[in-house]
Amino acid sequence: MAKTTQNQAKHDAGLDDGPLESVRFTGLKAGPKLIVLGAVHGNETCGPNAIRRVIEQCRSGELVIRRGEVTFVPVTNPKAYRQKTREGDRNLNRDLHEKPQPADYEDRIGNRICALLRQHDALLDVHSFRGEGEPFVFFGPENNSGELEPFRLAKAEGAFAACLGVPVMIHGWLDNYARLIAARERLDLPRLSLTEGYGTTEYMRFAGGYGVTLECGSHDDPASVEVGHVAILNVLAHLGLVDAPAPKSKLRTVIHITEVIICESTGDRVEGDWKTGDAIAAGQIIARRANGEPVKAPSPGFIIFPNANAKPGEGICYFGVKSDRTL
């Protein structure tokens, strides 16, 4: 190895032990504790850009945090961010929980993120996605005392999600993950654990708070930064951390994910140019199996996360219906 490459490798390895940066503003009056995460996925730069803008506004006095506190973590996965990749060693937004014996980079980061999340009441996790589509937000289950994801704060979380300024809200993630696991078992594929479905928002609910995942738009669309910026300003107003009028909701559709269309063998693929949130009529073709058999919408509904690169055992696409949740 040439000396410069060697030095670079040493330098990079050193950075992997580098710290996680967070910036906190504490109001002088009591109030809720908010945490805002960016770049949980390293190639999703709208979060860091929007968050840094808000930090500057707080520092300059343009925004005044009066109550509670807000902690900003502009880059939650520094290794992936530095590499400009989604993941460092693995997806930080899966199987997130404290691990006394961390096995990889994301385990080490996860331990610190979990500790930070525990110090807060509400989480806004800012992401972007591949391809085209409207911004949307993932939120959690209804109040329930079930085994999968017991929860008591559905009302507060729903209002928080609805204030962000995006037109589409989606729920049903963890139930759907259970369906994906069952489908993989039917296909004799390596078993996924249910904790694999746990990301930042699931951990936050487990820890007694609530949280949502905001998908601001396409990775490289500058408009995604604006969506993220508005969303952060809106939650600061909504929670009363700043003095500002209550944000107006732009919500149009609430979707309940009810099905996963799994890639059963190589060649199974999405049919058509679907984007997340697209409406689909009953019987309309969503995907086609390698053997030519079509997969049709079981009822009127919506397309979620079409994935042209799905491998066997992964979702080609999710399907959802109009939610009956009242917000």
**Using CB under 5 A as the criterion, which residues of the chain lie in contact with Zn ion when the complex forms?**
41, 44, 127
Minimum distance between the CB of residue 86 and Zn ion, rounded to whole angstroms? 7
Minimum distance between the CB of residue 256 and Zn ion, rounded to whole angstroms? 21
Q: Which is nearer to Zn ion, 44 or 268 (CB)?
A: 44
Minimum distance between the CB of residue 218 and Zn ion, rounded to whole angstroms? 12
Q: Which is nearer to Zn ion, 218 or 253 (CB)?
A: 218
State residue 54 phi and psi, 5-degree precision: -70, -40
Minimum distance between the CB of residue 275 and Zn ion, rounded to whole angstroms? 16
Minimum distance between the CB of residue 72 and Zn ion, rounded to whole angstroms? 17
Helix (H) or strand (E) holding 296: strand 294-296
Q: Which residues contact 257 (CB under 8 A, 6 or more apart)?
A: 170, 171, 172, 173, 175, 176, 304, 318, 319, 320
State residue 141 phi and psi, 5-degree precision: -80, 175
Q: Which is nearer to Zn ion, 77 or 234 (CB)?
A: 77
Structure tokens at 81: 């961010």
Structure tokens at 263: 């890639």
Structure tokens at 184: 């993989």
Q: Which is nearer to Zn ion, 35 or 65 (CB)?
A: 35
Beta bridge partners of 321: 256
State residue 88 phi and psi, 5-degree precision: -85, -85
Minimum distance between the CB of residue 131 and Zn ion, rounded to whole angstroms? 13
Number of CB atoms found within 10 A of residue 186's CB: 9
Q: Which is nearer to Zn ion, 69 or 87 (CB)?
A: 87
Q: Which is nearer to Zn ion, 213 or 258 (CB)?
A: 213
Residues composing the chain: 327
319 backbone φψ class: left, alpha, beta (φ>0; ψ -120 to 50): beta
Q: Which is nearer to Zn ion, 40 or 241 (CB)?
A: 40
The closest residue (CB) to Zn ion is 127
Minimum distance between the CB of residue 51 and Zn ion, rounded to whole angstroms? 14
Q: Virtual CA dihedral for 81, 87, 92, 98, nearest 10 degrees?
A: -90
Minimum distance between the CB of residue 271 and Zn ion, rounded to whole angstroms? 25
Q: Which is nearer to Zn ion, 41 or 120 (CB)?
A: 41
Minimum distance between the CB of residue 127 and Zn ion, rounded to whole angstroms? 3
Q: Say how far apart CA 32 and CA 194 lie, in whole Å.
A: 31
Q: Which is nearer to Zn ion, 72 or 81 (CB)?
A: 81
Helix (H) or strand (E) holding 201: helix 200-206
Number of CB atoms found within 10 A of residue 70's CB: 29
| CA count, 13 A, side-chain hemisphere, 239 | 32
Q: Which residue has the tokens 């910026």?
A: 229
